[in-house]
Structure formats: C-alpha cells, structure tokens
Amino acid sequence: MTWTLATPLVLPFLTAVLAFLARYGAAGRWFSVAGNAVLLGASILLMVRVLDQGVIAAQMGGWSAPFGITLVADYLSAVMVVITAITALAVSVYALTDIDERKEHLGYHALFNILIGGVVGAFLTGDLFNLYVWFEVMLISSFGLLILGGNKDQIDGGIKYVTLNLISTILFLSGIGLLYGMTGTLNMADIARTLDTVENQGLVTVVAMMFMVAFGVKAAVFPLFFWLPAAYHTPAFSVSAVFAGLLTKVGVYALIRMFTLVFDGDIGFTHQILLWVAGLTMVTGVLGAAAQNDIRKILSFHIVSQIGYMIMGLALLTPLAVAGAVFYLVHHIIVKANLFLIAGVAERTAGSTDLNRIGGLYKSAPLLACLFFIPAFSLAGFPPLSGFWAKYVLVAAAIENQGWIIAAVALLVGLLTIFSMTKIWAEAFWKPHPEGVDPTLNQLTPQARRHLLIPIAALAAMTLVIGFSPEPFVTFAKDAAAQLLDPTAYITTVLGGET
C-alpha cells in the first residue's frame, strides 16, 4: 500500500536528479521523457488500486495517523495524479524540440520534474502543513521555470507572479496556524472530525475565508487573477502549457478538498460566496480574453473563465454539480495544455503569436488547423467534444438546484468563448499571412515535427475519446463526487478505522 502511494511521488524527484546531472548532454531530456513515462505507469497502478479499494492511505515513517504525515488517495486524487502524469509526459516529449540548449544547461528538465513532483505531492498528501510544503516545492520550481532565459517581459511577469503567490502562501500558512490552534491537529481527516466540536464556529468561518483567499489566488479566481494573464504568456511554450494545465488546477483541487472535507459547517455562507466568485470569474475571464490580440494572452484569460466553471460546481455542492467540477477539471487540463502546445507550433511556423502578424495556417498547415479545432471547440463546449459534456453536467446541476442566474451566466460565457476562439481561428488560420509567408509545417525538421505534433495529437485524441464516450468518465466523476460529499470513508481510512 505504502509503495503504490509513494512511487508517483518519488519518481519525479529521481528523474529531476538524473536530468540535472545529465543537463549538458542529450541524455538529460530523454531521462525526463522516460521518467515521466514510468510515472504514468505508476499513477495508473495507483488508479487501479483506488478503483479496487475506494480510498487508500499510507502513513509515512510508521507514525500512526494524526501524528505522522499521511499520504492518501481517493478517486479525485488518483485521477488528478494520472492526468498530471499524462500532461507531464506530453510536455516532456514536446520539450525535446521546444527547449533550446541554453535553457537545458540552466536546468530546465530538473526544474520541470520537481514541479511535477510538487503537484503530485499536493494531490496525494493528507496533511495540511505537508500541503503547504508541496505548494512551496511547486512554487519555487515554477518561479525558476517562469524566468528561465531572463527576457525582459519574463522578469516583469515573474515579479507579479512571485509577489502575489508569496502573499497567498503566507495567508495559507497563517490559516494553518489558526486552524491548528483551534483543533490541535494538522491531519486533514482529523481536522474534519474535530472541527465540529470547536466552540467558536465564527472563527472557523474566518479561517475558511482565509483559505478561500489563499487558494483563490493560486486558482486565479475573481478578483485575484491579475497575476495570471501578466505572467503566463512570457515563458517557453512547454512551460506555459504545463502551468496552464496543472498549476492553477492545484489551487482548484485544494479548494475542492478543503471545502468538501473540512469547511462544510457553514455552507450557506461560504458556498454562497463561492458561487458569486464563480460567476464573476467566468464573466471577467471571458471578457478579458475578448479584448486580447495575442493567442497566448487570449488562452491565459480563458484559463480564468474556465476556473469559474469548476468553482461553480463546488459552490453548488450537489452530487451532480461536484461531479461536473471533477469532470471539468480533468477535461480542462488536457484541453488547455494542448492549446498552449499548439500556440507554440503556430509561432514556430508563422513567426509570432500576435494575431495581427500571422495568418494562413489553415491553407498551408491543414493538419495543425484540424488539431487546433478539436481542443478549441471542446473548450468552447461544442457537442460532442469533452467540454460540451462538462458544461452540460454543470448547467444541468445548476438548473436542478434552481440556480437560474448561474446557469444563464455559464451558457452566456460559453457563447463568448466561442467568439474568441473564432477570433483565433479567423485571424491565425483563415486570413492570409500579412507578410505573404507560407507557414507550412514542412519548414520544421521531420524530427521536430514528430516531437511537437505527437503530444498534440495524443492529447487531441484523448479529448475525442472523452467526447465520444463520456459515459464511463461521467460515472467515475459521480463516484468521485459521492466520495467527496460523504467523506466518512476518507476519514476512517486515514485514521485507521477509529472514528
């Protein structure tokens, strides 16, 4: 049991060490690919175990539950680890061509794998302070990745990213301190059990709000998202793809975990705020995207608006709504990472990501156009792609709950998403190139084409699979939601049977 849970955590760090030692040769990047392939195997193994047994937990160092650090995986954690491994593998293959030698010498592959390790750790830990440590591991490696190369705009975006994330981290740490003072424990399951017995429930709500703000900054929700569009369009494409896919989702995951497991005492207050936040996040994100004129900036603002959908699922807190949030989380990681990877290929062939300066991709690179079409329209929620089912479940849950306004907002934002996706389509793919360049894929070497297009095609294929057979995925999401809304199994497994 310990072994299955610890392997996905240890592997990325092992890979990072190997990649760092071999950073001056070609071996470093292949270590990264191989390490992530093994990680995918290990995470699938974990998934199988979780499907088999429900919740699994392991105590690190042999210290029993409330005292030692617990690793725990339920359906949500397991699926997040699998999707992390998939994204990591796709991006590491893409990085074979995308990352130049200078960035490799600076240690790109090592930082990347440490980042993946931090993300996996945050998904698997059952201890609040340990979650803070994993957030830090993730943050410091993402800082490094973001400014790797040291361009002016990277430094500028980096300052905003670093400062805002540090403030949220400090808020998170203070929240942990206060929660520990109230309950005398740091184990999430144990906190969930003892929090109801705390006398001062008003203070519990205050701490809940501190956590909401702290994770809200990381997840980039309204009104705390300004660092994201300022920073995500500056680093290498591999880096922004993995940031867009995974980093903000760790914030969403932490919100879902804390506000289903721990802070479920004052739902009328906290989740009402979450609902407002969700609606405003969706609207501001999509309006910001409509105003932009650069592919990566449009996509960055779209991350914000899509986060709103996931928070909406959490805020409604019905089984169907939480299932929708889980489904959306998984679908969005694949789609968003893929769109950033495609933006990278578009820049390589057409010369820029600024929509005024490129064009003609449809005519000269029809394959890329097709590959863009799938995630773009999935994001916008076209049936029968994966995004349609995700939005459908959420809107159905909202209507079932008589949340007419939030359902209307969700549908309207879907329409506006289509508008800005059509903008990318019309400008980058449809209109002729303003400088008369013929941006064909043939100008890339065959090797570069393989490295860049295979991950894109693989992720697009996964979007299609989820889109055309959503049944098992929706069922799984419903099971995960049931587990989240009734955390009894989680708590008893972590605390080893005693209740």
Partner 1 sequence: MEALLAITIGVLVATSVYLMLARNVLRFIFGLVLISNAANLIIFVSGRLTSGAPPLIAEGAEGPVGDVANALPQALVLTAIVIGFGLFAFALVLMFRAYSTLGTLYSDDMRIAEPRTEDTK
- Which residues form the interface with partner 1 (CB under 8 A)? 129, 132-133, 136, 139-140, 143, 147, 150, 152-160, 162-163, 166-167, 169-170, 173-174, 176-178, 180-182, 186, 229-231, 233-234
- CB 234, min distance to partner 1, A: 6
Whole-number minimum distance, CB 44 to partner 1, in Å? 32
Residue 180 Cβ vs partner 1, minimum distance, rounded to whole Å: 5
Closest to 89 measured CA to CA, from 16, 31, 36? 36
Smallest distance, Å, CB 392 to partner 1? 34
Neighbours of 226 (CB within 10 A): 15
How far is Cα 413 from Cα 283, in angstroms, rounded to an integer?
Answer: 6
Single-letter amino acid, residue 25: G
Q: What b/e sequence results for 446-460 when a residue is b if at least 16 CB atoms lie within 10 Å of its CB, and e otherwise?
A: eebbebbbebbbebb
Q: Where are the alpha helices (DSSP H) in 99-148?
A: 101-105, 108-124, 128-147
Tokens representing residue 19 in the block:
């990649």
DSSP string, 262-319: I--S-HHHHHHHHHHHHHHHHHHHHHHHHH--BHHHHHHHHHHHHHHHHHHHHHH-SH
Count of CB atoms within 10 A of residue 150's CB? 9
- Closer by beta carbon to partner 1, 356 or else 442: 356
Helix, strand or coil, per DSSP, at residue 25? coil
How far apart (Å, rounded) are the C-alpha atoms in residues 124 and 119?
A: 9
| Separation of alpha carbons 451 and 454, rounded Å | 6
Q: Minimum distance between the CB of residue 251 and partner 1, rounded to whole angstroms?
A: 18
CB closer to partner 1 out of 33 and 355: 355
| Shortest Å distance, C-beta 358 to partner 1 | 17
Smallest distance from the beta carbon of 484 to partner 1, in angstroms? 27
Coil, strand or helix at 73: strand
Q: Is the Cβ of residue 180 or residue 430 nearer to partner 1 in the bound state? A: 180
Tokens representing residue 303 in the block: 């991350």
- Whose Cβ is closer to partner 1: residue 79's or residue 137's? 137
Q: State which residue, 160 or 449, has the beta carbon closest to partner 1.
A: 160
Pick between residue 354 and residue 438 the one whose CB is nearest to partner 1.
354
- Least separation in angstroms between residue 439's CB and partner 1 is 24
Output 453 or 495, the one with its CB closest to partner 1.
495
Interior angle at CA 201, CA 199 and CA 206, nearest 5: 135
Question: How far apart (Å, rounded) are the C-alpha atoms in residues 177 and 305?
Answer: 32
Classified as helix, coil or strand, 70 is: strand
Q: For partner 1, which is the closer residue by CB, 98 or 127?
A: 127
Least distance to partner 1, CB of residue 396, Å: 37
For residue 59, what is the enclosing H or E element? strand 56-59
Distance CA 379, CA 306 (A): 8
Instruction: Output 162 or 221, the one with its CB closest to partner 1.
Output: 162
- Nearer to partner 1 (CB atom), residue 33 or residue 186: 186
DSSP bridge partners of 58: 71
Least Å from the CB of residue 42 to partner 1: 27
Rounded Cα distance between 133 and 288, Å, is: 33
